[in-house]
Amino acid sequence: MPRPTRAAAPGAALFALSLAVLAGCAQDPAPDAAPSAAPDDSHGTAYPLTLDNCGVETTVEAAPQRVVTIKSSTTEMLLALGLGDRIVGTAFLDGPVPDTLADAAADVPAVAEPMAEQAPGAEAVLGLEPDLVYAGWESNLTADGAGDRDTLAKLGVATYVSPAACKAPEHMPDPLTFDDVFAEIAEVGEVFDAGEAAGALVAEQRDALASVTPDDRGLTALWFSSGDDIPYVGAGIGAPQMIMDAVGLENVAGDVHDTWTSFSWEQAIDADPDVIVLVDATWNSAEQKIRRLESHPATARMTAVREGRYLTVPFPASEAGVRNVDAVVDLADQLDELRLEAGEAQDR
């Protein structure tokens, strides 16, 4: 496979090293086919590892040592798996890392100083000599963004898109479930030969998720993500729906077969949700959303607005990743604190 000469030396060395490690483990050295379910995490990963990622066959020659992460979901994934030292560049972060990962992030200069506010250019990415680009959105990996997947592969840079973000219908999780999220954690663990850490993280998250009993009062909710005149809300098959299901909220836009969707205020008012989940983003904060809801004479009449029944979730936690379970726990707590009674907002 053709490689630029400057990447050949470390690549070859790594290759040799991992072969030696594998040999030392007395592991079956046959190259693996495409495992994407939860692997046996007591053994190391067999390289080269080939995966079907969003319909693109991706091969990782060895445990990546120099990773460029795009978007918070992927950055936080690596930090949560203790792989922060592998990150050489980050970009397009959606907000600050959560407190639980703050210490891990402090040691990674690339997180404190991202390369770019949006998708970085291909040259800038290649300048860091990565062996893997781990993208949170499929659209990050285009010629205008960090680079076309095939082109990068030819240059010896493997690419991996968060599976929950695949856009093609046959690859998009429909609907997204926590099993999908955990499977991603496991797959990332496999890619980085960090199976143990991945298994531990999954177990931890499963426990946390199990500790939350979905609310059974049949409360409805609107997942208000962004937008002003035309609201953009969480719809039926994406991360917002997954989180709301776990918390026990019924999504008023759940009938729409999409991850997120543009909605109409009229429908929102008609549904009169019991609570409104506000996505708090740096460019569109929860406060701004509240102001908007309260200042417009039509939305101000909604029960949830009049009584201030808001749940807040930070934007990075609203995309599939390691923070979804935390979001579920947090939203469940916020819901309890509202102390609503069943069927309170059923009549207008």
Partner 1 sequence: MTTTEGRRAPASSPAGTTPNAPRGAAWWLPASAVVLVATVLGAVTIGPVDLSVGDVWRSVATHVGLGGPLGLEPLGALPDGMVWELRLPRVLTAAAVGAGLAVCGVVMQSLTRNPLADPYLLGLSSGASLGAVLVLVAGLTVLLPVAAFGGAVAALAAALALAGAIGTITPTRTVLAGLAVSQLAAAATSFVIFWSATGDSYREILSWLMGSVAGATWASVAITGVAVLVLGTLLASTGSVLDAFTFGDTAAATLGVPVARVRWLLLVGVALLTGALVSQSGSIGFVGLILPHAVRLLTGARHRLLLPLSALCGASFLVWADTLARTVFAPREVPVGIVTAAIGAPVFALLLWRGRRIA
* Residues making contact with partner 1 (CB under 8 A): 94, 117-118, 225-230, 232, 253, 255-256, 261-267, 269-270, 272, 281-284, 288, 296-302, 315, 348
Shortest separation between residue 64's beta carbon and partner 1, angstroms: 27
Q: Is 193 or 280 the residue whose CB approaches partner 1 more closely?
A: 280
**Residue carrying structure tokens 């009993």:** 213
**Residue carrying structure tokens 């962004």:** 226
| Torsion from C-alpha of 212, 217, 223, 228, nearest 10 degrees | -150
Shortest separation between residue 230's beta carbon and partner 1, angstroms: 5
Specify whether the CB–CB gap between 140 and 71 falls below 8 A: yes
Alpha-carbon span 296 to 19, nearest angstrom:
64
Query: Which 3 state secondary structure label does DSSP give 55?
Result: coil
Q: Is 84 or 316 the residue whose CB approaches partner 1 more closely?
A: 316
Shortest separation between residue 198's beta carbon and partner 1, angstroms: 29
Q: Is 131 or 280 the residue whose CB approaches partner 1 more closely?
A: 280
Q: Is 2 or 297 the residue whose CB approaches partner 1 more closely?
A: 297
Shortest separation between residue 234's beta carbon and partner 1, angstroms: 12
Shortest separation between residue 49's beta carbon and partner 1, angstroms: 33
Sequential DSSP letters for 140-206? GSSTTTT--HHHHHHTT-EEEE-GGG--STTTS-SS--HHHHHHHHHHHHHHTT-HHHHHHHHHHHH
Q: Is 287 or 336 the residue whose CB approaches partner 1 more closely?
A: 287
What is the bridge-based pairing of β-strands 87-91 and 275-280? unpaired
Q: Is 134 or 263 the residue whose CB approaches partner 1 more closely?
A: 263
What is the bridge-based pairing of β-strands 56-60 and 67-70? unpaired
Q: Is 15 or 232 the residue whose CB approaches partner 1 more closely?
A: 232
**Residue carrying structure tokens 């930090």:** 79
Closest CA to 279 of 255, 325, 311: 311
Query: Which 3 state secondary structure label does DSSP give 220?
Result: strand
Shortest separation between residue 238's beta carbon and partner 1, angstroms: 13
Shortest separation between residue 135's beta carbon and partner 1, angstroms: 16
